[in-house]
Amino acid sequence: MSALAVRRRRLGFGLALCSLLLLSAGLVAGGEGWSLAELGDLLRGQDAWLIVGQIRAPRTLGAWLAGGLLGLAGALAQGLFRNPLADPFLLGSASGASLAVVAVLAAGTLGGYGLGHGVGLAAAAFMGALGGVLLTLALARGAQHTLRLLLAGVVVGVVLSGLSDLLTLAAPEALRGRQVFMLGSTGFLGWDGCLLLGTGLALLLPLAQRLSRLLDALVLGEDSARSLGLPLPQLQLLLVGLLAAATGLAVSQTGLVAFVGLAAPHLVRRIAPGPHGYLLAASAAAGAVLLLAADVAARTLIAPQELPVGVLTAIFGGAYLLWLLNRQRGA
């Protein structure tokens, strides 16, 4: 087995091990921070099922699954644009989701509807994310020209952000809710959310892997990929669809968590690069570990208070990028 294949296998084992450790850690991290003693007390008491089973377990698993979706989405985005700086929020999904969330919150405070509370918010965020990407596709007239797609994504992002700012003017209470959404949190994840995330990941990852040869071929350039007989417009559209679905699902349950989608494929490529058939799955696993680690830290660092998980991922992600830049300059 080549050295590279050995490294890939080691990475796989490492990620699996980290996942197990962090999943267990998530059960210990709770209202009083990190306390094995407290966990013991809980398990002996009668609140065990409620606290550990209904609150800690689903949000820990949910963080892992959402991270997996974001990691997958990041690898898809970087493969589609052939750019290592691409992240899953490039096509307007973030601003679409945030606009939808603000709309629901504003309607709730203005009209007093309280539109289905939490369920409404998650569904709205998902629809908003998909809507943002659809708008981008419409503006770019298909997924064929990646430069046009990128530009359309930027335009849609700016316009939808502006609209959501406008809405928060009319309903200032929605501003707080939007802020919390933008910073990300696993606090609202229950088992129903986990089911959605799990089903999504189980469907989207194999589907994406079937497209892995396309992503590999895109390295040759779009024209060469077409000359190899690949129906590029349709396949690229499918890619964008998978990207939107993965991002939308993750965002609807945990809000906007920055950098996980960007950093996960980077880390995998740095440690053990490879073709996309492997890269997609490895990025998903890396993203899962990253988000879960940030979530456990967010719950324990200033307990009993919680940091928004998006703040931690932004700090770590930013630090990682700075370190990368430094390495480039030195090298």
Partner 1 sequence: MTVPLQAVSLEVVLGGRAVLREVSLELRAGWTAVVGPNGAGKSTLLRALAGLLPLRGGQVRLQGRPLRSWSAMQRAREMAWLAQQGLQGGDLTVRELVELGRLPHLGLFGTPGPQDLRQVEQAMQDTECGAWAERRLEQLSGGERQRCLLARALAVGAPVLLLDEPTTHLDPPHQVSLVRLLRRLGEQGCTVVSVLHDLPLALQADRLVVLRDGQVAACGAHDDAALHASLREVFDNALRIERAGGRFVALPDLG
Partner 2 sequence: MSGSSHLSRRRWLGRALAAVLLAPALVAAAPPQRIVSLVPGLTESVCALGACARLVGVDRHSNWPPEAAALPRLGGLDDAQVERIAALNPDLVLAAPGARVVQRLQALGLKVVALHTRSHQDVRHNLLWLGQTLGDPDLGRKAWAAVETQMAAASQSVPAAMRGRSVYFEVEASPYAAGPDSFIGQTLVQLGLRNIVPVALGPFPKLSPEFVVRAQPDIVMAEARQMQDMPGRPGWASLTALQRQQVCAFPSADYEVLVRPGPRMGRAAQQLADCLARLAKDTR
C-alpha to C-alpha distance for 320 and 98, rounded to whole angstroms: 26
Contacts of 320 (CB under 8 A, 6+ apart): 259, 263, 266
Q: Which listed range, 14-22, 108-116, 139-147, 213-221, lies at the site for partner 2 (CB under 8 A)?
A: 108-116
Q: Which listed range, 14-22, 62-70, 117-125, 264-272, lies at the site for partner 2 (CB under 8 A)?
A: 117-125
- Alpha-carbon Rg of the chain, whole angstroms? 20
Q: Does 269 bind partner 1 (CB under 8 A)?
A: yes
User: Measured from the CB atom, is 266 or 299 closer to partner 2?
Assistant: 299
Site string for partner 2, 253-292 (x = CB under 8 A): ----------------------------------------
Q: 272 with 7: CB under 8 angstroms?
A: yes
- 295-324 residues near partner 2, rule: CB under 8 A: 304-306, 308
Query: Which tokens sit at 105?
Result: 């919150």
Q: Does 172 bind partner 2 (CB under 8 A)?
A: yes
User: Measured from the CB atom, is 33 or 273 closer to partner 2?
Assistant: 33
Q: Does 169 bind partner 2 (CB under 8 A)?
A: yes
Q: Does 180 bind partner 2 (CB under 8 A)?
A: yes
Q: Does 211 bind partner 1 (CB under 8 A)?
A: yes
Q: 226 touches which of partner 1, partner 2, none (CB within 5 to 8 A by kind)?
A: partner 1
Query: Which tokens sit at 276?
Result: 């996309």
Q: 209 with 234: CB under 8 angstroms?
A: no
Quick one: which of 293, 281, 258, 308 has its CA closest to 23? 293
Q: 330 touches which of partner 2, partner 1, none (CB within 5 to 8 A by kind)?
A: none
- 275-294 residues near partner 1, rule: CB under 8 A: 275, 279
Q: Does 148 bind partner 1 (CB under 8 A)?
A: no
Q: Does 117 bind partner 2 (CB under 8 A)?
A: yes
Q: 145 touches which of partner 1, partner 2, none (CB within 5 to 8 A by kind)?
A: none
Q: Does 162 bind partner 2 (CB under 8 A)?
A: no
Q: Which residues bind partner 1 (CB under 8 A)?
A: 2, 4, 82, 210-211, 213-214, 216-221, 223-224, 226-231, 269, 273-275, 279
Q: Which residues bind partner 2 (CB under 8 A)?
A: 30-31, 47, 50-51, 54-56, 105, 108-109, 112-119, 121, 169, 172-173, 176-177, 179-180, 185, 187-188, 190, 192, 304-306, 308
